[in-house]
Amino acid sequence: MKHTVLRRFLGSAGALTLLLAATACSGDAGGGASPESGKSSITFWGWAPGYADAVEAFDASHPDTRVTYQAVQPGAKGGYQKMLNAVKAGNAPCLAQLGYETLPSFAAQGALQDVSGEVSAADQADFQEAAWNAVTLGKQVFGAPVDTGPMALFYNKKVFDSLGLKPPATWAEYRTAAEKIHASSPKRYISSPYLDYDYAGLAWQAGADWFATKGDAWQVTMDSAANKKVADYWQGLADDHLISSAPMYDQAWYTGLGDGDIATVVGAVWQAGVIKGGAKNGAGQWAVAPMPQWDAGNLRTGNAGGSATAVLKGCDDPKAAWEFAHWLSTDREAYGTLVEKAALYPAAEKLLDLPQLAKGDAYFGGQNIYKVFADAASQVRTGWTWGPLMTRTAADLDDGLGKAWAGKGTIAGALGTAQKQTIAEMEKQGLSTTP
């Protein structure tokens, strides 16, 4: 499958150099040799469907290393805080699923461990350049890239067909479709509230950056004119009651997807696995189309998510940790299962021709959805930079966005408040900022 490398969409090397000093090796909670068996024993925390299967396959094929998998809440739902708390307490696992957007924050807090001594040049060459840059800081390596998150439009084809609608090519057409869908039934909506990194993908596409670097200082631009344009568009949909009140990933959201009351999801490739797993009643009704555009002739796509298998501070068996992390991202059979169960899109170049990425999916009416995402990957707008305190920034933003979607504020206001709070926290932690 043809793939264009996305040079900088996962983050900026210049931005990463502004982070606080990275973590050094210490601690003994994450792993080590089992005194009973002599095997290396490490623990891995994550939440993606298929990870448990991958660990089982690794353990069966690697008799000298045992990986124990523990499922935790997705990062923004509490998983990241659990990881940070464990690092502070000195009992963190060796490995953890960590979104690229959050990795700089963990590095800034000294929660990651450098494993560059375990990484060969051949290992590095396995990965797309942008994905590799997302897990490195200078010469330090904090984990193995797993996947990327190009975005597209998931839509209920049954609903669209019943109303004579085609997938909208532009955001203006998306609004027109929203109006027709809601007019067909007061219970039907075009979408649901977007928070943190799902919302970031919408801003990303439009060139509405949140962070940049200037010299040795950070710029925070969440309240820019470009961001206001995106915010006002979605505010208009919310004000006209075209957005469902069901929070994404809650049971009410899955129910709405399954019965057709929520007719679209603008999301990353991995959302396919989320939708399939949580909205089984929608099987055969859904399809995937390119992300709507602000300008029809200027194809740009956002990115939402993508993650690494990161090595947390305190891991006392970095060799075993890297061995598993690299294997998880490059083993064809194991990653094929991750495509089938979690709809992950590989960060490893040699996996872009996996057979699972070239076949139809019965849930999506037999469509080969990965063709859409392969095209989207080449259209992801470059230049996006994540900030150094994203766990805090995301929490502050979500508080405001949650209120705005409920009619107790505005999306633009939520972005402005999050910017002020982020700058204040940066300065509190000794990070330089500039207008």
Mean pLDDT of 316-329: 97
More confident residue, 171 or 35: 171
Q: What sign does the CA torsion over 358, 363, 367, 373 have? A: negative
CA-CA distance, 55 to 45, in Å (whole number)?
A: 11
Mean pLDDT over all residues of the chain? Answer: 91
Q: Is the domain of 31 the same as that of 92? A: yes
Write down the pLDDT at residue 311.
98
- Given pLDDT bands bounded at 50, 70 and 90, which one contains residue 68? very high
Please list the residues that pair with 42 across neighbouring strands: 31, 67
What is the predicted pLDDT for the residue at 77? 83
Residue 408: the pLDDT is 96
Confidence of residue 15 (pLDDT cuts 50, 70, 90): low
CATH number for the domain harbouring residue 334:
3.40.190.10
pLDDT class of 172 with cuts at 50, 70, 90:
very high
Total number of domains in the chain: 2
**Structural domain span for residue 343:** 13-149+305-360
Give the model's pLDDT for residue 382.
84
Nearest Cα residue to 321 out of 73, 65, 91: 65
190 belongs to a structural domain = yes
Is residue 27 over pLDDT 50? no
Instruction: Report, as an integer, the average pLDDT of 377-397.
Output: 90
Determine, yes or no, domain membership for 350: yes
- The verdict on 161 and 42 lying in the same domain is no
For 119-137, give the DSSP string.
--HHHHHTB-HHHHHTTEE
pLDDT at 137 (0 to 100): 85
Residues 211 and 258 in one domain: yes
Both 20 and 130 in one domain: the answer is yes
Q: Measured between alpha carbons, how far is 124 from 144 in angstroms, rounded to an integer?
A: 9
Residue 56 lies in a domain: yes
Q: How many CB atoms lie within 10 A of CB 259?
A: 15
pLDDT higher than threshold 60 for residue 17: no
| Euclidean distance between CA atoms 76 and 324, whole angstroms | 24
d(CA 168, CA 289): 9
Tokens of 140: 């330090």
185 and 240 within one domain: yes
pLDDT of 30 reads 56
Dihedral sign, Cα of residue 22, residue 24, residue 29, residue 35: positive
Domain annotation covers residue 366: no
Confidence class for position 24, pLDDT limits 50, 70, 90: very low
CA–CA dist 321, 43 (Å, integer): 9
**Residue 35's pLDDT band (boundaries 50, 70, 90)?**
very low
Residue-level pLDDT at 305: 87
Q: What is the pLDDT of residue 253?
A: 97
312 and 417 in a single domain? The answer is no
In this predicted structure, what is the pLDDT of residue 32? Answer: 60
Buried b vs exposed e over 86-114: b needs ≥16 C-beta within 10 Å?
A: bbeeeebbbbbbbbbbbbbbbbbbbbbbb
Q: Are β-strands 40-46 and 95-99 bridged in parallel, bridged antiparallel, or unpaired?
A: parallel
- Identify whether 81 is part of a domain: yes
Mind listing the pLDDT tens digit for each residue in 49-65? 999 999 999 999 999 99
| Confidence (pLDDT) at 16 | 56
- Residues 27 and 67 both lie in one domain: yes
CA angle 345, 349, 354 (to 5 degrees): 60
Tens digits of per-residue pLDDT, 414-434? 999 999 999 999 999 999 999
pLDDT (average), residues 198-217: 95
pLDDT at 23: 34
Give dist(CA 102, CA 98) in Å, integer: 7
pLDDT tens digits, 237-277: 999 999 999 999 999 999 999 999 999 999 999 999 999 99
Beta strands 95-99 and 151-156: pairing type?
unpaired
pLDDT exceeds 50 at position 4: no
Q: What is the DSSP letter of 350?
A: G
Q: Is residue 21 predicted with pLDDT exceeding 80?
A: no
Please, which residues have CB within 8 angstroms of residue 239's CB and are 6 or more apart in sequence?
Answer: none
Under 8 Å between Cβ of 415 and 396:
no
Residue-level pLDDT at 328: 98
Question: Do residue 266 and residue 193 come from a single domain?
Answer: yes
375 is a domain residue: no
Question: What proportion of the chain, given as a percentage, has pLDDT over 70?
Answer: 91
297 and 326: one domain?
no
Together in a domain, 299 and 410:
yes
264 and 400 both lie in a single domain: yes
- Which residue blocks in 154-209 are alpha helix, DSSP H? 157-162, 171-184, 196-205
pLDDT at 20 > cutoff 50: no
CA distance 328 to 141: 16
Q: How far apart are CA 193 and CA 247, in angstroms?
A: 6
pLDDT of residue 14: 55
Q: Tally Cβ neighbours within 10 Å of residue 274.
A: 23
Question: Is residue 356 within 8 Å of residue 340, measured between CB atoms?
Answer: yes
Please identify, among 313, 345, 360, the residue that sits at the C-terminal boundary of a domain. Answer: 360
Q: Does the residue 179 lie in any domain?
A: yes
Confidence of residue 43 (pLDDT cuts 50, 70, 90): very high
Residues above pLDDT 90, as percent of the chain:
82
Output the pLDDT for position 76: 80
3-state secondary structure of 267: strand
**Residue 93 pLDDT:** 98
24 and 35 in a common domain: yes
pLDDT for 12 beyond 80: no
- Output the pLDDT for position 19: 58
- Binning pLDDT at 50, 70 and 90, where does residue 31 land? low
Task: Please check whether residue 61 lies inside any domain of the structure.
Answer: yes
Arithmetic mean of pLDDT, 92-104: 95
Q: How confident is the model at residue 129 (pLDDT cuts 50, 70, 90)?
A: confident
